[in-house]
Amino acid sequence: MVSIAALIHLFLRSPDGEAGDYAPTALDPNASMDELVTVATYDKITDAHIALGRLSAEGIEAQLFDEQMVQMDWLYAIALGGIKLRVTRGDEKAARQVLETDYSKVLEEADLGKRED
């Protein structure tokens, strides 16, 4: 059995393998732009797929992680931290802006096929 302290020590190694207080950040020059970062988490699979579709419509590639585990048993959502929506580090800012945009005012003003007579 591996202790939690040993796992933490293993995960906090620097990219060159040296032990130390290393935790990658958004400003880390060694971080790859292809690295996937979580931009949102969801408890419900439908909400996760709606957000995935919004990003896809804007041309941002995204992936869902842990959706099958959460779908299999909703109690796993708590243990896993929910369904994670991840994008590449280069798309992170744009993805967050898309997900934060509220389109409800546009829908209220839209003509949804009202009768004109």
Please check whether residue 43 lies inside any domain of the structure. Answer: yes
Please check whether residue 94 lies inside any domain of the structure. Answer: yes
pLDDT (mean) for 8-23: 50
Please check whether residue 41 lies inside any domain of the structure. Answer: yes
Please check whether residue 47 lies inside any domain of the structure. Answer: yes
Phi-psi region of 62 (alpha: psi -120 to 50; beta: other; left: phi over 0): beta
Please state whether the predicted TM-score (pTM) of the whole model is above 0.75: no
Q: Please name the amino acid found at residue 25.
A: T
The pLDDT score that the predictor gives to residue 6 is 53
Whole domain around residue 61: which residue ranges? Answer: 27-104
If pLDDT is split at 50, 70 and 90, which confidence band does 12 have?
low
Question: Percent of the chain beyond pLDDT 90?
Answer: 39
Tokens of 45: 């699979």
Total structural domains within the chain? 1
Please check whether residue 112 lies inside any domain of the structure. Answer: no
Long-range contacts of 66-75 (CB under 8 A, 24+ apart): 70/43, 70/45, 71/45, 74/43
Please check whether residue 37 lies inside any domain of the structure. Answer: yes
Please check whether residue 85 lies inside any domain of the structure. Answer: yes
**DSSP code for 113:** S
Confidence check: pLDDT of 91 > 60: yes
Please check whether residue 19 lies inside any domain of the structure. Answer: no
pLDDT (mean) for 4-31: 50
The pLDDT score that the predictor gives to residue 31 is 56
Distances (CA, A) of 44 to 41, 64, 70, 84, 100: 9, 12, 8, 11, 18
- Per-residue pLDDT tens for 20-50? 444 444 445 555 667 999 999 998 899 999 9
CB half-sphere exposure, 36, CA atoms < 13 A:
12
Q: 24 or 66: which carries more pLDDT confidence?
A: 66
- Per-residue pLDDT tens for 95-114? 999 999 987 777 777 777 76
Q: How far apart (Å, rounded) are the C-alpha atoms in residues 61 and 54?
A: 10
Q: How far apart (Å, rounded) are the C-alpha atoms in residues 113 and 91?
A: 36
